[in-house]
Amino acid sequence: ASCVAKRASCIPKRASCVAKRASCIPKRATSVAESASCVAKRASCIPKRASCVAKRASCIPKRASCVAKRASCVPKRASCVAKRASCIPKRASCVPESASCVAKRASC
């Protein structure tokens, strides 16, 4: 008698489980459709990725030549810096001359 009572108490629980499962069916169907569209999108990306990889590979020699050019510029930059440094005292000597020129112009 107690078993019969337990089974009878399980009936509404089973019914709610069946209802929940039934409510999951459309969700599963949409998730299957979404996953199929994702697979299709991934497949369409494969040739794009391949072209990107090819472009990157073609850039490697260009980058190497740029690095070489930059390296060749280093001594030129150093000589420019040295020339600028040698100009500083000349500029300093020009400052009083330009001040006297300004005074002469003002008197004119």
* pLDDT tens-digit profile, the chain (108 residues): 788 888 888 898 899 999 999 998 988 888 888 898 899 998 999 999 999 999 999 999 999 999 999 999 999 999 999 999 988 888 787 777 777 888 888 887
What is the Cα–Cα distance from 65 to 34, expressed in whole angstroms? 47
What does the pLDDT read at residue 95? 76
Total-model pTM: 0.34
Residues 3, 5, 9: CA angle, nearest 5 degrees: 115
What is the Cα–Cα distance from 58 to 64, expressed in whole angstroms? 11
What does the pLDDT read at residue 6? 86
Only one residue has tokens 């019914």, namely 15
What does the pLDDT read at residue 66? 93
What does the pLDDT read at residue 44? 92
What does the pLDDT read at residue 94? 78
